[in-house]
């Protein structure tokens, strides 16, 4: 979960990184792709849909009560014309909209009840539960022929007195390979709760267990992100946990791979990974193993000059390739690698967000990288998005890369200070042509937010047919700072 970029998150120490984690004012997506990229289809029409947060939105006069927006795919892509906008005041949704709830701050999709429609697990990490301030909550909003309508069921917190911010991290996958979607849930502690598939209409899971990676707990806010994907091609989903290590005074970022198995996730076989506070998993080189992409978007040193391990000037993206044994060799990419667009500069935030999808249908996954802090001309922190294409040898950093900013011809909008274009990115086929399209979140207009759609033309991302969606056209109030499009569902 990212805090606002203006607070200079890039120091990458535990204190600096977590100082604003629990404000929920801007959050990351947990990009959950497997060797075959799953995408949401809430109305089961065969075309991908996109869900995202506006967790800072006013609802019924309540500040930061939060909403989520679902845009439904079609032959011409996504727009605000075909959407659902859901709050806790929506009929059928458990609870009620209250100040500071941040409904929709985190989301994960899967068909949790096996009815053929994808459902949406939604975190409300600021929810007060009884006398427990910020205890947090999780609901599952059920998919249907009409998509996500607001009909949902609360998912009980197994240990409400043991933590706060229940539901601040979510990831869906079949961790035990039984054909039913499980849900991993994070909170303010290091303990991750795994709710087993077979959810009832009342939101009751088929069972539950916990795993506890060696990351900081309460003081650092628990996991930063959870990402699900099949890295060792076992047929059982694995989990990557982004967090802070517990064995150094500095508290550097530390991630762990936890393999799935017939009995679920195996913490005893966990392996440490390269750093990053956002992760994507998918098969880049076409070998049928999920590859792990991590975004270490900070600079090489802290403000006091302390060197940060495995980092790059202005950010670094690590690609760790999958194998039978799980994670194997890793390679780092910066804006100074090969012909990657741009130049590595301090506070570019290269790797601030990541997602994988097949833009050209060649069977190799391509990578969208948010460079949310990029300066263009006199516009500071206006942001860009880089697209690198997958090949049998991995990501092609020598040729073919694309870069998009709001000043790119055909992209809606213009470069302005603090737009942070690329604060979230998503590669999903929302036209039904079998090619992934690019969807970009930004902090347009003083954190009102915006979502930009850039379609695939079958071989590349194009600006032809692009459009931008805003809060005001999507049923979200621009009072305060709604952070519309800050976090896409995965």
For residue range 264-303, what is the model confidence (pLDDT) as tens digits? 999 999 999 999 999 999 999 999 999 999 999 999 998 8
What average pLDDT does the segment 18-35 reach?
37
User: For the chain, what percent of residues have pLDDT higher than 90?
Assistant: 87
The dihedral through the CA atoms of 386, 289, 169, 197 has a sign that is: positive
Written as six digits, the tokens of 165 are: 């911010």
Largest CA distance in the chain: 57
φ, ψ of residue 257 in degrees (nearest 5): -95, 125
Average confidence score pLDDT of the chain: 91
The whole-number pLDDT of residue 35 equals 46
The whole-number pLDDT of residue 37 equals 65
- 396 within 8 A of 453, measured Cβ to Cβ: no
What average pLDDT does the segment 187-191 reach?
95
Of 440, 476, 438, 470, whose CA–CA distance to 457 is shortest?
A: 438
Confidence of residue 472 (pLDDT cuts 50, 70, 90): very high
The whole-number pLDDT of residue 28 equals 40
pLDDT of 399 > 90? The answer is yes
Pairing state of beta strands 271-273 and 279-282? unpaired
The whole-number pLDDT of residue 159 equals 95
> How large is the C-alpha radius of gyration of the chain?
20
Confidence of residue 219 (pLDDT cuts 50, 70, 90): low
Of 367, 366, 357, whose CA–CA distance to 422 is shortest?
A: 367
The whole-number pLDDT of residue 27 equals 38
Confidence of residue 120 (pLDDT cuts 50, 70, 90): very high
What average pLDDT does the segment 125-152 reach?
96
The dihedral through the CA atoms of 297, 301, 302, 303 has a sign that is: negative
SS3 for 436-488, per residue?
A: CEEEEEECHHHHCEEEEEECECCCCECCCCCEEECCCCCCCCCCCCCCECCCE
The dihedral through the CA atoms of 220, 168, 425, 233 has a sign that is: positive
Confidence of residue 218 (pLDDT cuts 50, 70, 90): low
Written as six digits, the tokens of 396 are: 């092609």
DSSP 8-state code for residue 251: -
Of 142, 246, 237, whose CA–CA distance to 190 is shortest?
A: 246
pLDDT of 252 > 90? The answer is no
The whole-number pLDDT of residue 220 equals 56
User: For the chain, what percent of residues have pLDDT higher than 70?
Assistant: 91
Q: Between 279 and 309, whose confidence is greater?
A: 279
The whole-number pLDDT of residue 25 equals 37
pLDDT of 49 > 80? The answer is yes
């Amino acid at each position: 979960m990212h805090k606002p970029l203006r607070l200079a998150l890039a120091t990458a120490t535990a204190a600096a990184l977590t100082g604003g984690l629990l404000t929920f004012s801007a959050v990351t997506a947990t990009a959950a792709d497997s060797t075959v990229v799953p995408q949401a289809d809430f109305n089961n029409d065969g075309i991908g849909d996109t869900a995202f947060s506006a967790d800072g939105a006013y609802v019924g006069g309540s500040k930061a009560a939060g909403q989520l927006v679902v845009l439904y795919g079609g032959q011409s892509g996504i727009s605000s014309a075909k959407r659902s906008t859901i709050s806790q005041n929506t009929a059928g949704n458990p609870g009620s909209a209250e100040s500071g709830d941040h409904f929709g701050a985190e989301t994960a999709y899967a068909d949790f009840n096996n009815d053929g429609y994808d459902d949406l697990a939604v975190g409300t990490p600021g929810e007060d539960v009884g006398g427990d301030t910020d205890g947090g909550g999780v609901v599952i909003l059920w998919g249907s022929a009409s998509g996500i309508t607001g009909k949902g069921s609360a998912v009980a917190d197994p240990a409400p007195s043991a933590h706060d911010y229940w539901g601040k991290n979510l990831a869906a996958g079949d961790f035990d390979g039984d054909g039913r979607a499980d849900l991993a849930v994070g909170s303010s502690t290091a303990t991750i709760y795994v709710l087993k598939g077979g959810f009832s209409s009342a939101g009751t899971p088929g069972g539950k267990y916990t795993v506890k990676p060696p990351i900081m707990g309460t003081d650092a806010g628990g996991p930063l992100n959870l990402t699900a994907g099949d890295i060792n091609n076992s047929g059982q989903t694995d989990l990557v946990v982004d967090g802070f290590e517990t064995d150094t005074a500095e508290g550097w970022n530390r991630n762990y791979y936890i393999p799935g198995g017939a009995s679920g996730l195996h913490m005893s076989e966990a392996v440490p990974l390269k750093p990053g506070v956002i992760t994507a998993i998918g098969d880049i080189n076409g070998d049928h193993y999920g590859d792990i992409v991590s975004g270490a978007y900070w600079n090489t040193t802290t403000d006091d000059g302390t060197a940060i391990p495995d980092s790059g000037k202005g950010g670094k993206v690590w690609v760790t390739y999958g194998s039978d044994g799980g994670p194997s060799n890793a390679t780092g990419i910066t804006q100074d690698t090969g012909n990657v667009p741009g130049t590595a500069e301090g506070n570019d935030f290269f790797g601030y967000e990541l997602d994988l999808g097949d833009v050209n249908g060649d069977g190799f996954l391509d990578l969208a990288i948010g460079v949310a802090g990029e300066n263009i001309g006199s516009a500071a922190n206006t942001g860009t998005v880089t697209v690198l294409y997958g090949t049998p040898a991995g990501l092609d950093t020598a040729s073919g890369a694309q870069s998009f900013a709001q000043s790119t011809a055909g992209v809606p909008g213009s470069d302005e200070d603090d737009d942070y274009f690329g604060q979230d990115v998503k590669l999903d086929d929302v036209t039904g042509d079998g090619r992934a399209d690019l969807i970009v979140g930004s902090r347009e207009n003083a954190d009102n937010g915006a979502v930009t759609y850039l379609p695939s033309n079958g071989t590349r991302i194009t600006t032809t047919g692009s459009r931008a969606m805003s809060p005001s056209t999507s049923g979200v109030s621009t009072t305060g700072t709604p952070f519309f499009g800050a976090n896409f569902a995965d």
